[in-house]
Amino acid sequence: MSLRERLIRDIVEGGPISVADYMMRCLHDAEDGYYATRPRLGPGGDFITAPLVSQMFGELIGLWAVQAWLDAGAPAAFRLVEAGPGDGTLMSDLLRVARLRPDFLAAADLWLIETSEPLRREQHLRLGDGPKAPKWAAALEEVPGGAPLLLVSNELLDCLPVRQFVRTPSGWAERMVGVDAAGALAFGLAPRPELQGPANAPEGVVIERSPAQEAFGAALGARIAVDGGAALLIDYGRDAPGPGDTLQALRAHQKEDPLANPGQADLTVHADFPAVLAAARAAGSITAPILSQGEFLARLGLIQRAEALTAGAPDRADLIARQVERLVDPAQMGVLFKAVCVHSPDWPPPAFDPETA
């Protein structure tokens, strides 16, 4: 039975499911979920991410990590963690740069937080023979405490599911996935009069709440409050609370109806950075003001790194220039993508401005 058939059967038997539950089934269903069975990253796959655009992305994050560790007094032991490492490219580029500081590598205990078995295998292939052997965990809670946390993550929050709420003439309702009269998956609404939505929201407006993103922010905030450290999260998303339906399905680099092919497309939403950071602060950590990806990479020296690469390979000058443009151009990834940091007072994060609130 396909995932679509099982979803339809379950909805007919148990009633409509929330958008968050639909995302979880599509991404993580053991038999047919996108990440559980067929994640396809890269130009020949379904979507491309910043580490796959250019090695410069992971290299600059490597410099950021080494500098953060130095600024924290170069602790003799810390957990170096990547959450949602995909095919391992970012960590591979980070570790190549980190070789410049053997004491950083010696102090690091490397963990990868990954739920996808196919991607764990790719990470093992890419990183298994590297300078630091990784260990795997399915959640932050499985990474041992007792040492500062230095965590990096690119495009994880956008996979963590959201619930969607719609303003109707009779109050707030939750957008649900049900089955229509023709027996196909279809969106519908379930009344949620108890929802405290923004006052004066116009009819038809959609707001999203992600308990899973907030739980991740809270877990990071709580861990860092106890053990110290810094967590760098990069993703596409909003930097201020606001409405909008951001659910998107991508297959072979094309957008498609999120209900069209359950499990066969990547489903994403925008990261709700204000909510993630508020959860981290409520759990006891500090958060730096949000930066655009373009600004963050510029502060880390993207242009200088591109010039150095170009000097070493003049025949690749056009390609490197296009990669820089893709990462920082406001019309491409430069503004929609943002960098945020959760940290402890003794780990002031490089490139970020101090907390203002």
Ligand X SMILES: C[S@@+](CC[C@H](N)C(=O)[O-])C[C@H]1O[C@@H](n2cnc3c(N)ncnc32)[C@H](O)[C@@H]1O
Q: If binding is defined by CB under 6 A, does position 41 make contact with ligand X?
A: yes
Residues 6 or more apart whose Cβ sits within 8 Å of residue 102? none
Show the tokens assigned to 299. 């502060």
With contacts defined by CB under 6 A, name the span among 95-103, 128-136, 150-158, 302-310 that binds ligand X: 150-158
Distances 310 to 90, 96, 182, 223 between C-alpha atoms, Å: 20, 18, 58, 41
With contacts defined by CB under 6 A, name the span among 66-74, 152-160, 186-194, 295-303 that binds ligand X: 152-160
Least distance between ligand X and beta carbon 172 (Å): 27
Q: If binding is defined by CB under 6 A, does position 323 make contact with ligand X?
A: no
Radius of gyration for the alpha carbons in the chain, expressed in angstroms and rounded: 21
Measuring CA to CA, which residue among 265, 339, 294 is closest to residue 47?
A: 265
Which of 16, 33, 62, 84 forms a contact with ligand X (CB under 6 A)? Answer: 84
Least distance between ligand X and beta carbon 159 (Å): 4
Which of 68, 72, 94, 113 forms a contact with ligand X (CB under 6 A)? Answer: 113
DSSP 311: H
Instruction: Using alpha carbons only, give the angle 281, 243, 260 rounded to the nearest 5 degrees.
Output: 110
Q: If binding is defined by CB under 6 A, does position 116 make contact with ligand X?
A: yes
Q: If binding is defined by CB under 6 A, does position 51 make contact with ligand X?
A: yes
Give whichever of 159 and 309 is closer to ligand X, judged by the CB atom. 159
In one-letter notation, the amino acid at residue 39 is: P
Which of 97, 119, 143, 333 forms a contact with ligand X (CB under 6 A)? Answer: 119
Residue 348: φ, ψ to 5°? -65, 125
Least distance between ligand X and beta carbon 114 (Å): 5
Q: If binding is defined by CB under 6 A, does position 35 make contact with ligand X?
A: yes
Give whichever of 167 and 223 is closer to ligand X, judged by the CB atom. 223
DSSP H helical ranges for the chain: 3-14, 19-28, 34-37, 50-53, 55-71, 89-98, 102-107, 117-127, 211-227, 273-282, 293-300, 302-312, 317-328
With contacts defined by CB under 6 A, name the span among 100-108, 149-157, 221-229, 243-251 that binds ligand X: 149-157
Task: Note the residues at the interface with ligand X (CB under 6 A).
Answer: 35, 39, 41, 49, 51-52, 84-86, 90, 113-116, 119, 154-156, 159
